[in-house]
Amino acid sequence: MATATPSPKVNHIGLPVIEYRGGKSTLCAGCGHNAISERIIDAMFEMGVEPEHVIKMSGIGCSSKSPAYFMSRSHSFNSVHGRMPSVTTGALVGNHTVQALGVSGDGDTASIGMGQFVHLLRRNLPMIYIIENNGVYGLTKGQFSATADIGSKLKTGVINDLPAIDTCALAIQLGATFVGRSFSGDKKQLLAMLKAAIAHNGTVMLDVISPCVTFNDHEGSTKSYKFLQEHDEAINEIGFVPSFEEIEVDYDSGQVFDVQMHDGSSLRLRKLLEDYDPTNKAGAVRTLMEAQEKGEILTGVFYIDTKKPSFIDLLGLVDEPLATLPESLTRPPKSALSELMTSLQ
């Protein structure tokens, strides 16, 4: 009796995981960015997001190349250095029915892109903004970026003498409504964070520390695999239940922070840090600043606000994408021009 080939596992929209894959990565073997691409694939697959519904956005740098390595069925825009926020803003205003996932790096965000980054946060543009943070410029062979920690050492022996910009503290302060940090090596945490991110309406800012195996993975670096394994401290354990799955109750409610997400799914943050409240802006920023002083690298979901309207909500747009509105809705009638001409006589 012939055995039937087992059909591949499909998600709730009937797609196998292969439909979420991209081209072969050209990044270095072992690069943290590749692991992040894998988690994005897993999260999109598990959440059953239609690939055509996603736009992948990026700037310039190693990180910004990575959208080529996942989800080939999604439109992608590799723009200019540090300017992915404005391109994404335009794209979402033009078509607010798609879901935007942006991948940036620490140079692309915290140096050349800082101007646009802060305004993206301020607008609470509905998108997932991932910083693949390795503390160095890889494509130009390993100069420090603005997220490199003070005292961190380059391979050449150069010590960084300027303080790191904490993109998470910045994001919380400036208006992002879902802010977290993870580590490319922490599969479970990153996957849960990404799945919750997909369910969020507003700016999701995820700072994912992603070691650069070529230029920043040595002794003395504070963005190396070894350093992260030793210093990564999670503030909460992330449980995410998508809207299409049933919630099982097994937590002691005193230990859990429950967040009802925009799309009906549920985010459960089990407290690892005593009394940490991820809806308290000031508390979140204080915790991050204190950790930085102690040299700790906190991970987890630091801040979440599911009520604040997104930039698109504020525009009061029609339901259909502006891009494809018919002429009858976009070109005013002849009578409108006549009226204007009369008023100018």
Partner 1 sequence: MATGDLALGQEQGASSARQRVTIDFSIIVATVNGSGSQSANSVLLKSIFGMGIPVSGKNLFPSNIAGLPTWYTIRASKYGYVARKRDSEVLVALNPETAREDVLALPAGGVAIYETNLNLKQYRDDVVCYPVPFDKLTAAICPEAKLRKLVKNMVYVGVAAQLLEIDLELVEKSVRKQFARKQKVFDLNFGAVKAGFDYAASTFTKQDPFHLEPMNSTAGKIIIDGNSACGMGAVFAGVTVVAWYPITPSTSLIEATTDLLRKYRTTPEGKATFAVVQAEDELAAIGMVLGAGWAGARAMTSTSGPGISLMAEFTGLGYYAEIPGVIFDVQRTGPATGMPTRTQQADLLSVAFLSHGDTKNPVLLPANVKECFEFAYAAFDLAERLQTPVFVLSDLDLGMNNWMSEPFTYPEKPLDRGKVLTAEDLNRLGGFARYRDVDGDGIPWRTLPGTRHPKAAYFTRGSGHNDAAGYTEKPDEYQAVMDRLARKFENARKLAPAPVTVKDGTSKIGFLAFGSTDFALRESLDQIKSEYGASVDYMRIRAYPFAHEIHDFVASHERVYVVEQNRDAQLASLLKLDLPAEQAVKLRSILHYNGLPVDARTITEEFATKEGL
Q: Which is nearer to partner 1, 54 or 208 (CB)?
A: 54
Q: Dihedral through CA 20, CA 25, CA 29, CA 31, nearest 10?
A: -70
73 binds partner 1 (CB under 8 A): yes
DSSP string computed for 118-134: HHHHHHT-SEEEEEEE-
Helix boundaries (H) for 112-203 = 114-123, 167-174, 187-199
Segment (H or E) for 319: none
**Of positions 11, 76, 292, 306, contacts partner 1 by CB under 8 A:** 76
Q: What residues numbered 148-207 form the site for partner 1, per CB under 8 A?
A: none
Q: Which is nearer to partner 1, 116 or 210 (CB)?
A: 116
Q: What secondary structure letter does DSSP report for 259?
A: E
The interface region with partner 1, picked from 1-9, 134-142, 150-158, 334-342 by CB under 8 A, is 334-342
Contact 127, 104 (CB under 8 A): no
Q: Which is nearer to partner 1, 254 or 326 (CB)?
A: 326
The interface region with partner 1, picked from 27-35, 91-99, 150-158, 296-304 by CB under 8 A, is 91-99
Q: Which is nearer to partner 1, 44 or 228 (CB)?
A: 44
Q: Dihedral through CA 65, CA 195, CA 100, CA 49, nearest 10?
A: 100
Q: Which is nearer to partner 1, 2 or 344 (CB)?
A: 344
Q: Give me the least distance between CB of 114 and partner 1, in Å please.
A: 11
332 binds partner 1 (CB under 8 A): yes
Q: What residues numbered 299-328 form the site for partner 1, per CB under 8 A?
A: 315-319, 321-325, 327
90 binds partner 1 (CB under 8 A): yes
Token pair of 244 as six digits = 């299409």
**Of positions 27, 42, 51, 268, contacts partner 1 by CB under 8 A:** 51
Q: Give me the least distance between CB of 69 and partner 1, in Å please.
A: 11
Distances (CA, A) of 131 to 35, 182, 210, 218, 316: 13, 10, 9, 21, 30
Distance CA 319, CA 323 (A): 11
Contact 127, 101 (CB under 8 A): yes
Q: Give me the least distance between CB of 312 and partner 1, in Å please.
A: 9
**Of positions 115, 151, 163, 295, contacts partner 1 by CB under 8 A:** 115
The set of residues, in sequence order, having a beta carbon less than 8 Å from that of 237 and lying 6+ positions away, is 189, 269, 270, 272, 300
CB crowding 231-248: b at 16 or more within 10 Å, else e = ebebbbbbbbbbeeeeee
Contact positions vs partner 1 (CB under 8 A): 19, 50-53, 55, 67-68, 72-80, 83, 85-95, 97-98, 115-116, 119, 315-319, 321-325, 327, 329-332, 334, 336-338, 340-341, 344-345
